[in-house]
Amino acid sequence: MLSDFIEEVEYLIRARYSILYINTAEEERALEVFEQIGKNLHKRIITWTVTTGLVLDGKELDPKSTDFRTALYMAEELAKVPSLFLFCDLHPFICSSSSPAYIRSFREFAQKIKTGFPSNCIVIAPTLEIPIELQKEITIVDLPLPDLDEVKQIIVQFTNQYKGREGIHIDQSPAVIEALARAAVGLTQNEIENCLAKSLVKNRGISDGDVSSMLDEKKQIIRKSGILEYISTEDLRLEQIGGLDNLKRWLMKRKASYSLEAREFGINWPKGVLLVGVPGCGKSLCAKSVAAAWQMPLLRLDLGRVFAGVVGSSEANMRSALAMCEAVAPSIVWIDEIEKALSGVGNGRSDGGVATRIFGTLLTWMQEKKSPVFVFATANNIEQLPTELLRKGRFDEIFFVDLPSPEERAEIFKIHIDRIKRDVNQFDIPLLVETSGESYWGQGIRLTGSEIEYSVHEGLMEAFSQRVHENQEGRDLTTDDIIKAIQRTVPLAKSREHEISKLRDWANVHAVRASLSNSNTVVTGNTHEELVGRNIDF
């Protein structure tokens, strides 16, 4: 919250922290905030940019102060009077590749502020670049994005300018302001005002119909970050996932945790869940379906994109992404195949320890986040996951998604047959289940959900091909078409039998199984299809 930011900054200023680094792209908003802080602490505001030099009370003090070293020399005299020096876009002058004279001059200015001058230095920049010489002098403080209450104020202040003008309709009813504000949470002040201005030009007014435009702008902003991706979950439901009843029941119970009644009852927001299991068994689909069921935005966090070439940029990218996740809360953050992104943790020889620092930032955030952000992580290879991620407190629960049982395969076949608009009753589901399981493939080998989906669509393609190329008028998909597609499949459970066996051994001790059954085994024919993991009924 902005009030927390102001309170924290005022404490740091009064404690004589010499340099505060405000990492934000909202320069105008930051300047407004520090104008308020300056008034609260009875300190005058002096700004500096490379184009205007030092500016006090709207007046440029000296044209020569556009030179950074000259500005610092002048600032030493000005700092004798209680002041806040706001240096905008200073990062090119104090980064590792800048002139050593600039870095040394800035460091000496900071030391003089700390030892004698009743002033403070504030750096406002959209990127974080700190040379090693200044790391002990600088304290980083992130300016939070506008929260819900601040967004409401921004909308009201903007619309007040146009209210009552001829030919323009402004709806400032509480319901409309609330809807617009909730849609705009996660955007900067400038982005919110741009959206509202666009609506004024396009629609000659502002109303609840602009909520969709605000959401589209939010999606665009998130995409531009390059790290987060706004995932559409329209037309998805948990019922579209075959099986995994234990997991679905657990998730739906947690949905109620976000209600006001739950908060008053003393229930905390859930932290998240880790799904470990065989590839192709519905882990990613679960993330999308849960977001739809909970009616929350789904943000996919690509940890691979966090890492950047410039030293310090990766850490800044991570903080920025996590701040965005919290800004749009309540939300679900989906980290797919988390083990691949964290494979370099603990090995600083190749990346200077960047992966370890990123991992530390993620762990701390997961442990201490106070916003209603639910982390939905998936993993295929448990051996690559750092042990710190698996301890209690990071996730509420770890589920193991195994190869689907006979009941689950029957459900999956029905879902995909129904999805292609065919009558399920026209297909021999028990035969499809038998052909896709151990009865046909042997002990421990069954088709995954994605392989079942493939077999249905491959059978459909074969039926269509015969209808068109072999002049079989009226030819439609049959059970036999799907069975032939199954028989041509090389199951993942067969090609990666050893890896899946190790994964199931681990899950028997460390995870709760995502599927629900009254017993540990399900008998089909002369074989036993095991369901792995602790059998906990949520």
Query: What single-letter DSSP state applies at residue 43?
Result: -
Query: What single-letter DSSP state applies at residue 380?
Result: S
Could you tell me which of 395, 360, 401, 362 has the C-alpha nearest to residue 379?
Answer: 401
Whether the predicted pLDDT of 3 surpasses 90? no
Indicate the pairing of strand 59-60 with strand 53-56: antiparallel
Percent of the chain clearing pLDDT 90 (strictly above) = 26
Whether the predicted pLDDT of 519 surpasses 50? no
Lowest mean pLDDT among 62-66, 248-252, 349-353, 400-404: 349-353
* Angstrom distance (rounded) from CA 12 to CA 529: 62
HSE at residue 18, side-chain half, CA atoms within 13 A, is: 19
Contact between residue 208 and residue 180 where contact means Cβ atoms under 8 Å apart? yes
Read off the pLDDT of residues 307-346 as tens digits, 9 standing for 90 and up: 654 445 677 778 878 887 887 778 899 998 888 767 656 5
* Angstrom distance (rounded) from CA 512 to CA 218: 36
Say how far residue 250 (Cα) sits from the centre of its chain. Answer: 22
Contact between residue 351 and residue 344 where contact means Cβ atoms under 8 Å apart? yes
HSE at residue 283, side-chain half, CA atoms within 13 A, is: 25
């762990």: which residue's tokens? 363
Lowest mean pLDDT among 11-20, 114-123, 152-161, 385-394: 385-394
